[in-house]
């Protein structure tokens, strides 16, 4: 496939409910979509960069201009037979993994469509059904959080993860455990604690959580290893794992008991698979993280979650939890058992609603400019 042009678009999609983490609140997603135009085939992907540089240094504006100025030009005009070749072509640009992932994944998507094969098979998946959990943000009150948990449990989700920060942690766990002593419960701090909080974090053990995700600094694996030695609860790393070498270091130091794989944070499907594989070799389970994706990124997460070492319920949940109307058809749906049945169709198995995408688009640009846009 020759990469002829890349189209960037920004969509505005209001969330049905705000999503709050220790680093801030999101009410409306600025969704960045990438289309790779290749020999009559289109590959689509979503760049998961946020509205501001809070989860990581990347945000929608850095991703947009890094793709336009540097990454797209490295791919345009190239003949590519497999999406996995993109990583090498873009290696000259340091970092900017979410921007790179959008391009690489768009080419995997194009490859699956061109070969008329399911993307999940191309990625090496084996599961026909994936296990789903939910990530529930910080709420305005404990009561509101308990109501949300009740709704998600009734919907069948297999694991509840709550966002925590100092002042929204122990008392919240106490109330949840009082009402639901047996559910699979975990938490995600998005780096809200420091080494001064070890004593405090040790109290989390009382609530037999499945994991405590990314309690400390986003760039510090060594301190997580020290913390893990102090805790019974497994640490799960998210922000810290940016490529396979980070995963290797974390496993070498016993810094965590599991890893959250996010394809955007890792720079594309190839690195996500590489991290999956080293964890598998070391007997460490992984699960698929979420970044409040539209149906396009979500469908890619579904495909990735079919790999064998995705042994824990992920943050990949139903479209309707986020959006009044998603941009794919059918929308991503979850069974009463808290699973997603993976479509055995060519590509992702979810069709893009192009008219709706057009309607939600607030900005669009094609590189190079002279080629007609999508």
- Residues catalogued as catalytic: 163, 262
The CB-of-253 to Mg ion minimum distance in angstroms stands at: 20
- The residue (of 111 and 326) whose beta carbon lies closer to ligand OSB is 326
- The residue (of 46 and 188) whose beta carbon lies closer to Mg ion is 188
Task: Look up residue 321 and give its two tokens.
Answer: 């939890």
- The residue (of 218 and 277) whose beta carbon lies closer to ligand OSB is 218
Residue 130 binds to ligand OSB (criterion: CB under 6 A): no
Per-residue contact string for residues 184-203; x = within reach of Mg ion by CB under 5 A? ----x---------------
Residue 136 binds to ligand OSB (criterion: CB under 6 A): no
User: Which range binds Mg ion by CB under 5 A, 67-75, 193-201, 205-213, 273-281?
Assistant: 205-213
Rg (CA), the chain: 20
Q: What is the DSSP letter of 195?
A: G
Residue 58 binds to ligand OSB (criterion: CB under 6 A): no
- The residue (of 60 and 291) whose beta carbon lies closer to ligand OSB is 291
The CB-of-236 to Mg ion minimum distance in angstroms stands at: 8
Residue 169 binds to Mg ion (criterion: CB under 5 A): no
- Beta-carbon contacts of 355 under 8 Å, excluding residues fewer than 6 positions away, are none
146-151 own/partner pairs: CB under 8 Å, 24+ apart:
146/175, 146/176, 146/179, 149/176, 149/180
CA distance 182 to 159: 11
Residue 297 binds to ligand OSB (criterion: CB under 6 A): no
**Which residue sits closest to ligand OSB, CB atoms considered?**
290
CA distance 189 to 169: 9
Q: How far lies 152's CA from each of 31, 171, 176, 295, in Å? A: 25, 20, 13, 19
CA distance 231 to 198: 9
CA distance 212 to 228: 10
CA distance 317 to 279: 23
Residue 158 binds to ligand OSB (criterion: CB under 6 A): no
Among 10, 152, 238, 326, binds Mg ion (CB under 5 A): 238
Among 7, 22, 66, 135, binds ligand OSB (CB under 6 A): 135
Nearest to 32 by CA among 10, 12, 65: 10
Binders of ligand OSB in range 259-288 (CB under 6 A): none
Residue 109 binds to Mg ion (criterion: CB under 5 A): no
**Which residue sits closest to Mg ion, CB atoms considered?**
238
| Residue numbers at the binding site for Mg ion (CB under 5 A) | 188, 213, 238
């Amino acid at each position: 496939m020759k990469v002829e042009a890349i189209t960037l678009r920004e969509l505005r999609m209001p969330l049905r409910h705000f999503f709050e983490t220790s680093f801030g609140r999101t009410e409306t997603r600025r969704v960045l979509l990438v289309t790779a135009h290749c020999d009559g085939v289109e590959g689509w992907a979503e760049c998961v960069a946020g509205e501001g540089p809070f989860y990581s240094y990347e945000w929608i504006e850095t991703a947009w201009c890094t793709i336009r100025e540097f990454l797209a030009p490295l791919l345009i005009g190239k003949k590519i037979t497999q999406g996995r070749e993109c990583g090498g072509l873009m290696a000259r640009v340091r970092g900017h993994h979410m921007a790179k992932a959008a391009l690489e994944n768009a080419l995997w998507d194009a490859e699956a469509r061109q070969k008329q094969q399911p993307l999940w098979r191309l990625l090496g998946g084996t599961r026909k059904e994936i296990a789903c959990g939910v990530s529930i943000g910080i709420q305005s009150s404990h009561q509101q959080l308990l109501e949300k948990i009740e709704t998600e449990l009734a919907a069948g989700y297999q694991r509840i993860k709550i966002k925590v920060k100092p002042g929204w942690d122990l008392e919240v766990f106490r109330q949840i455990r009082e009402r639901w002593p047996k559910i699979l419960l975990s938490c995600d701090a998005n780096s809200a604690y420091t080494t001064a909080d070890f004593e405090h974090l040790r109290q989390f053990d009382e609530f037999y959580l499945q994991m405590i995700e990314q309690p400390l600094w986003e760039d510090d694996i060594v301190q997580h290893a020290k913390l893990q030695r102090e805790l019974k609860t497994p640490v799960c790393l998210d922000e810290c794992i940016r490529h396979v070498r980070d995963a290797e270091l974390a496993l070498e130091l016993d810094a965590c008991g599991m890893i959250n794989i996010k394809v955007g944070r890792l720079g594309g499907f190839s690195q996500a698979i590489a991290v999956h594989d080293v964890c598998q070799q070391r007997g460490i389970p992984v699960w698929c993280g979420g970044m409040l994706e539209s149906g396009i990124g979500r469908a890619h997460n579904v495909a990735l979650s079919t790999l064998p070492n995705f042994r824990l319920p992920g943050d990949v949940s139903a479209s309707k939890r986020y959006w009044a109307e998603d941009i794919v058809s059918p929308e991503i749906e979850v069974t009463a058992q808290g699973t997603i049945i993976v479509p055995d169709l060519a590509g992702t198995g979810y069709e893009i609603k192009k008219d709706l995408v057009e309607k939600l688009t607030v900005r669009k640009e094609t590189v190079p400019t002279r080629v007609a846009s999508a």
